[in-house]
Structure 1
Amino acid sequence: MAFSADELRVLRRALATALNPAPLQDDDVQDCLRLAESVDESVAEAGRLRAFLLADLVRYRQALPGSLTGYLELLQDALAAGYDPAADDLAALRALRHHPAAGALLARCQVLAERSVRIRLARVSQAQSPSRTLAAAPRARLLALPGGRASDDGGAGAGAGAGTPAKPAPKPPAPGERPVPKPSEAFPPRRRPVPPPPPEERVAG
């Protein structure tokens, strides 16, 4: 894209105003607006020319090998405009590799195609990297609390061997201390009442 001398002066004033903000006169504002419109038109025109160039490239490629010279020229122009060679271009150039110009252009297109593939793969990997870096949180180990089943099993392992808790042995009474009575001594069992004798035995007696 080329600018005229007047457009360069307008662009210089716009850049100076962006670096050092200052109020602009109406004429300067109108010049900046016209320059922006010119840039938009140039970008649109470049897009149209690119579309025409790629359409011509397809037509010349379909007419190979009779359109060899025109196809090679159009392909070089498209590469200069930033075109990434397609698989059809590589296949056509491989079929024409006996031609010196086609062989040289094939080597150039292979380098550009490989670079384009690497760029696309890098973009895909960058898009997928957040999901890959999210690792699952490690599971916390369950620890036995003191006084639970683990302690009961450990204490009973040597005596019972079956995992049942062992009953604590009673402590002997200290000297001069009365022993704790057993439940059977504190609450003796009730004797069943003896039924009274029959009336005949009472009269006979």
Structure 2
Amino acid sequence: MAFGAEELRVLRRALALALNPSPASAEEVQDCLRLAESVDEATREDARLRAFLLADLARYRAALPGTVTGYAALLTEALDTGYRPHPDDLAALRALRGSPAAAALLERCRPLAEQDVRARFAGRAATSVVVVPASRSGSGRSRLRLTALAGGLSEQGARARGAAGEPAEPKPA
């Protein structure tokens, strides 16, 4: 995940506030909330793209041997993102051993599969399922909101916000 200059500024300020609690302006709070929403959105998009990649991989595997080049490229990409090969992947690669790309992938996948089997036998089953926390799932539930803690604004700061207690209009980024 890459951050822009403005996002890094907000992130630095949020970390500084977390390490050294001090009164935060309404604008800083809004910036932090926007950054948190952007990170959540990027995480959801990453999960969506990963699901698409894995579905595409299954389609290519089902269409083998005619799609060996595409399948090899997709499997390589999936492995690079942490995918653990399924028995179907190993069987497909064994059947395609005549292809140099498939043979190389089989050599890369075999140790991963062996690790999974050993882990299952040891009682700590390694899975290839990606668990998405509720805050990142597409279930429609929003992330937990930040709660205000006592000591946020001094009396002087509260008076500066106005007698009506209205927060200042956030400035566009």
Q: TM-score, normalised by structure 2?
A: 0.68
1:8 is aligned to 8
1:74–1:121 Cα change, 3 Å: same
1:154 is aligned to none
1:124 is aligned to 124
Counterpart secondary structure, 1:124 = coil
Counterpart secondary structure, 2:124 = helix
1:94 is aligned to 94
Q: Equivalent residues in 2 for 1:192-203 (5 A)?
A: none
1:115 is aligned to 115
Percent identity for Structure 1 against Structure 2: 68
1:79 is aligned to 79
* Larger radius of gyration between Structure 1 and Structure 2: 1
Q: Equivalent residues in 2 for 1:135-150 (5 A)?
A: none
Q: Say if 2:39 is the partner of 1:47.
A: no
Deviates more, 1:62-71 or 1:11-20: 11-20
* Structure 1 Cα separation of the partners of residues 6 and 120 of structure 2: 41
* Structure 1 Cα separation of the partners of residues 37 and 114 of structure 2: 38
Which 5+ residue runs of structure 1 have no aligned equivalent?
Answer: 126-205
1:38 is aligned to 38
Which 5+ residue runs of structure 2 have no aligned equivalent?
Answer: 126-173
Q: Equivalent residues in 2 for 1:145-184 (5 A)?
A: none
Deviation sequence 1:83-110 (CA, Å, 0-9, x none): 1100000000001112111111001011
* Structure 2 Cα separation of the partners of residues 44 and 16 of structure 1: 26
2:65 is aligned to 65
Counterpart secondary structure, 2:42 = helix
* Structure 1 Cα separation of the partners of residues 121 and 43 of structure 2: 29
**Aligned-pair distance for 1:116?**
2.7
Amino acid at match of 2:46: A
Equivalent residues, number? 125
What value does the CA root-mean-square deviation take over the aligned residues? 1.5
Q: TM-score, normalised by structure 1?
A: 0.58
1:25–1:121 Cα change, 3 Å: farther
**Aligned-pair distance for 1:118?**
3.3
* Structure 1 Cα separation of the partners of residues 114 and 19 of structure 2: 41
Looking at both structures, which has the greater relative contact order when contacts are Cα pairs under 8 Å and sequence separation is at least 6? 2
* Structure 1 Cα separation of the partners of residues 10 and 120 of structure 2: 39
